[in-house]
Structure 1
Amino acid sequence: MARKADYLHQVRGEEEGKMVRQLLRNRFRFSRRMFRRLKEAKAVEVNGEPVYLTSRVKAGDRMAVFLPRDTGEGVKPQPLPIQVIHEDEDLIILDKQPGVVVHPTRNYPEGTLANGLAAYWQERGEFHLVRPVTRLDKDTSGLIVFAKHPHAHAILSGQMKGKRYLREYLAVVHGSLEKEEGKVEEPIARSPEHPHIRTVSPAGAPACTRYRVIRRWPEATLVRLRLETGRTHQIRVHMAHLGHPLLGDTLYGGQTAEIERQALHAVRLALIHPRDGKKCCWESPLPKDFHLLMESLPSI
């Protein structure tokens, strides 16, 4: 049985005479690292025959690229519940529940979202290294993206750096914000006293969060936030800096009477698909504890 190519392209008239490498860079945006892997694996064929990346093509030639498959042990598969929002040959979007760590760490070596994802793929006869593109804190719920191969990860990570992603969150914060909408543009750094805490500091990395008020209660506000950068704890730090920490966020001054984790949910995600360049968008409904929180707040 012939193996299935990951990328196919028939050479057009205006592309005749170009090198394979040049054509692949233009059509599929392969990185230098990926070209090295393709060269080592002899993973590019023209008309069914392996070719050098410096070979020249003719109009009508059929090019096929076979991405090198992941190898190694990867993350330990564990049958844990995960909620798949979307999956294709390049990426997978999950709806993360609160209280779940994304990837194994020293303090959380097992039971993470990555362990559950590895088991999900294993059940389907697939093996992929777990490559988070976006990340969420342990107690933040909502949409998160994983790439299924290095090429997709490189393109999606490049979008992150180029600020071509759209990431929106809903949060309930203490108090009543003065403005209906605004922007927090304050640099964020690691706290010198407590390395796991972040703080606004002139020495920090640039960070920008936009917010818009959705609903008000006497002592709390529901806000929709858009990240323009992706610093650790960015929303939590910026809202606390404004004097409105998230409900449940004890690390940055919030109280836990109404909810046992920070009231933060990644509600909407939009990106440019790494394969066809089309804009894709997904949304996640609020989890149960978020609804219970809002129902518990006294009305104005």
Structure 2
Amino acid sequence: MLNTMRMGEWFQITVPLEWNGQTIADIFRHVWESPKKLTHSFRMENKVLVNGDPANWNMPLIKGSKIQIKLFEDENIEIFPNFIDIDILYEDEHVLVINKPPFMNTHPNDLKADQNTLVNAAQFYLQAKGENRNIRQIHRLDRDTSGAILLAKHALAGAILDNMLLKRNIKRTYIALVHGVLKQRTGTINAPIGRDRHHATKRRVSPSGQAATTHFTVLKVDKGKQQTYVKCWLDTGRTHQIRVHLSHLGHPLVGDTLYGGNSIVKRQALHAAKLEFIHPFTQEKIVCRAPFIDLPVIFKDIDIYSL
């Protein structure tokens, strides 16, 4: 874990042993893999200091030196802030993890017309705390899917986390309730997913689709109701991936009428129960678990803390 602290608009990192001899340019390019345009703005606007002085980006760093980065400036707000009560699972100066309720879109499709989304709520929360910066979503959940979702509080955190997601370094674990009893206790579904030509929003397994991999483990079987509670985690993040893959196996999600499920509950029975990642600035392992929030209860007698 790195030694860090916030100082107003600046964020300070004490150079660890593993950075000794590297340059500021190396840290941005190789450690954080920051986009060139964003890195250029930090460099040209003198937003990086070493021991209080403007950084020489090509000078080798010395263990124990202090790097200061201007991360917490006010921004022109692009997202309309809207008060909606949200459940915060984790927060620091860089990231926010929220337990998204069902029946809420993750982000607005139209910035003016759609203002009741999780991103609008998070934007209000941020500004109410005096943090006048645009919130940045890192991934999304379907409107009717609940659970842990990750957002970034500033541009550099957003860029690093976007890249971590692309490299599959952010692990998301889901709980699904499906129809039927799975034959396998554990397994992997490798099946490409593409658009359904006959339905605007539907996806399907298709040889011409994008590669998609879902791993699963059976948690519990309700033989009386002929239903199975399944833990899933993904190597990819295709639209409706878990819903499509489990339906393809012949076990659609309970409540998921789009993919063959029965409307026993009011939504598809899918919950993002656990989110894990290595913090981009402190190197701390962050593990967030999202409690179930449905009433009546959908996921009965499932302990998210045992996942």
Per the TM superposition, whether the score is higher than 0.5 is yes
Conservation of the 8 A alpha-carbon contact between 1:100 and 1:113: yes
Matched, 1:48 2:55: no
Q: CA deviation at 1:51?
A: 4.1
2:251 pairs, out of 244, 247, 271, with 244
- Please name the residue that 1:72 is paired with: 76
What amino acid is aligned across from residue 202 of structure 2 in structure 1? I
What amino acid is aligned across from residue 243 of structure 1 in structure 2? G
RMSD: 2.6
In structure 2, the residue corresponding to 1:64 is in which secondary structure? strand
Q: CA deviation at 1:61?
A: 5.4
1:168/1:34 CA distance change after superposition, 3 Å: same
1:23/1:80 CA distance change after superposition, 3 Å: closer
In structure 1, the residue corresponding to 2:188 is in which secondary structure? strand
- Please name the residue that 2:3 is paired with: none
- Please name the residue that 1:268 is paired with: 274
**Largest Rg, 1 or 2:** 1
Counterpart-to-counterpart distance in 1, 2:122 and 2:101 = 13
Counterpart-to-counterpart distance in 1, 2:8 and 2:104 = 37
Counterpart-to-counterpart distance in 1, 2:131 and 2:273 = 29
1:27-42 alignment, distance < 5 Å: 29-42=33-46
Q: Which runs of 5+ in 2 are unaligned?
A: 1-6, 302-307
What amino acid is aligned across from residue 73 of structure 1 in structure 2? I
Identity of aligned residues (%): 34
Counterpart-to-counterpart distance in 2, 1:272 and 1:292 = 31
Counterpart-to-counterpart distance in 1, 2:168 and 2:63 = 37
- Please name the residue that 2:219 is paired with: 214
**TM-score, normalised on structure 1?**
0.87
Counterpart-to-counterpart distance in 2, 1:264 and 1:289 = 14
**TM-score, normalised on structure 2?**
0.85
Q: CA deviation at 1:163?
A: 1.6
- Please name the residue that 1:298 is paired with: none
What amino acid is aligned across from residue 204 of structure 1 in structure 2? G
Conservation of the 8 A alpha-carbon contact between 1:141 and 1:265: yes
1:176 pairs, out of 175, 181, 184, with 181
1:253/1:70 CA distance change after superposition, 3 Å: farther
208-217 vs 235-244, greater mean Cα deviation: 208-217
Q: CA deviation at 1:192?
A: 1.9
- Please name the residue that 1:7 is paired with: 12
Counterpart-to-counterpart distance in 2, 1:14 and 1:235 = 40
Counterpart-to-counterpart distance in 1, 2:75 and 2:277 = 28
1:27/1:8 CA distance change after superposition, 3 Å: farther
Conservation of the 8 A alpha-carbon contact between 2:32 and 2:160: no
Matched, 1:232 2:239: yes
Q: Deviations over 1:115-146 (max 9, x none)?
A: 11111111111122121112100000000000
- Please name the residue that 2:128 is paired with: 123
In structure 1, the residue corresponding to 2:161 is in which secondary structure? helix
Q: Which runs of 5+ in 1 are unaligned?
A: 296-300
Matched, 1:282 2:282: no
1:99/1:143 CA distance change after superposition, 3 Å: same
1:239/1:65 CA distance change after superposition, 3 Å: same
In structure 1, the residue corresponding to 2:164 is in which secondary structure? helix
2:149 pairs, out of 144, 150, 154, with 144
In structure 1, the residue corresponding to 2:295 is in which secondary structure? helix
Q: Deviations over 1:57-88 (max 9, x none)?
A: 67875432213635223211111111101100
What amino acid is aligned across from residue 178 of structure 1 in structure 2? K
Counterpart-to-counterpart distance in 2, 1:140 and 1:23 = 37
Conservation of the 8 A alpha-carbon contact between 1:269 and 1:283: yes
What amino acid is aligned across from residue 168 of structure 2 in structure 1? K
Q: CA deviation at 1:289?
A: 3.5
Conservation of the 8 A alpha-carbon contact between 1:212 and 1:225: yes
Counterpart-to-counterpart distance in 2, 1:187 and 1:24 = 34
